[in-house]
Amino acid sequence: FEVNWTDQNEAVLCLHTLSYPEAQDQNLQVTSVSWNATGSVVACSYGRLDGGDWSTEKSYVCTWNLDRRGLNPQHPDLVVDVPSSVMCLAFHPSQPSLIAGGLFSGELVVWDTSRTEDPVIWRTGMTDDTHTDPVYQVNWLPDAKHRNNSRLLSVSTDGKILVWREERDGRLALAEGFAMVAQQIPRSTWMKKFTGGEAAVGVTSLSFSHFDHRVFIVGVEGGYSLKCSTAAETLALHPTRSSVPLRAPAELAFSPHGGPVYSVSCSPFHRNLFLSCGTDGQVHLHSMLQTQPLISLQLSKKYLFCVRWSPVRPLVFAAASGEGDVYLFDFEKSSQKPAISIKQAAGECPVYCLEFNIKQTQLLAAGDATGTVKVWQLSSDFTEQGPREVNRLEQLASEITD
């Protein structure tokens, strides 16, 4: 069907409203969304992000193939029952049927969506190595030594960042790991808050550099973003038992938000730029070369739960708010206010997660507290790179604030 974009209101169109009624009946929320490697399948995890004792509650992972003729928005193609709330999800970057999830219990599970009977193919189980807090993010890493294998990285508010390898017997075994300990985080004059010595610092989000695979940014509960390196060799002063020695990865701390950092995103088009957002309702644009943000944007009176750079437009990013809005920002148009704000959820229902589709770049999926995933179609304004965009990004990055 032809869509005719005439005015700003038509710059975004809701293509699909997806949900799993059984999860909604249990008042479960969409905690995470992910697109598979082909860009045709969207998955969501159901769980609870707003407290309470949800550890025993069963939850679900659901997938929909949007290219399928008989798509039923309220009938997912696959529903996986999970015994604990699923906090985060990530499809494998090249194998379309593999999906990893992090659970409230601290466990990690990998499902193969092509095996409908018993989709679980790997899991950490509960060992001394398993996270002792909920897992808030999971990422696939290329395994440098074994071309065909991938490793799985998980972060948790227990302060640990762990890398897992797949064993033949269906276990995920700890390959290497890092621990965030207060006294090992580089201090600056404004970092008065980090007392607590050997106390673990809870990690809430993580994003890898697109330019140097050893560099990653984490967001922590204390409100800081930290630049970290997988090449770190210093041992972490972490008291817990672990089958491999944990290392201390933090190299630089950035000027803090007013509360926990829920989301960080490294730019796909500039090696030093990243975005962060959190409970203070602000998005910070940072350069990895300085502690103060280049730009601070107050987008919400409530929390901001997720921020993502566009995979195709260097100056565009999206953010999800506690008031039920998805904001699309375009630094080409304004560095102060959103180019467009989309009302995803009625009332003041938070939007918890969003992901651009790398293969079908006009699609953006967002999940909310009502248990709904909406797939938004973006106009070419948001998908076609302008001639001077990368130059403009360079200019933004070189504006020194310190």
Query: If 0-12 CB within 10 Å is exposed, 13-18 middle and 19+ buried, where does residue 70 land?
Result: exposed
pLDDT, tens digit, for every residue of 284-341?
999 999 999 999 998 888 899 999 999 999 999 999 999 999 999 999 998 889 999 9
Q: Which CATH superfamily is 8-397 part of?
A: YVTN repeat-like/Quinoprotein amine dehydrogenase (2.130.10.10)
Asked if residue 155 has pLDDT above 50, the reply is: yes
**Secondary structure (H, E, C), 95-152:** CCCEEEEEECCCCEEEEECCCCCCCEEEECCCCCCCCCCCEEEEEEEECCCCCCCEEE
Tokens of 368: 């909310």
Residues 225-274: pLDDT tens digits? Answer: 999 999 998 888 866 778 999 999 999 999 887 888 999 999 999 999 99
pLDDT at 2: 46
pTM: 0.92
176-229 per-position pLDDT tens digit = 999 988 877 776 644 555 555 557 788 999 999 999 989 999 998 888 899 999
Question: What are the structural domain ranges in the chain?
Answer: 8-397
Dump pLDDT digits (tens) for 74-83. 999 999 999 8
pLDDT digits (tens, 9 = 90+) for 308-322: 999 999 999 999 999
DSSP state letters, 277-316? EETTSEEEEEETT-SS-SEEEE--SS-EEEEEE-SS-TTE
Total Cβ atoms within 10 A of residue 117: 4
Q: Name the β-bridge partners of 306.
A: 320
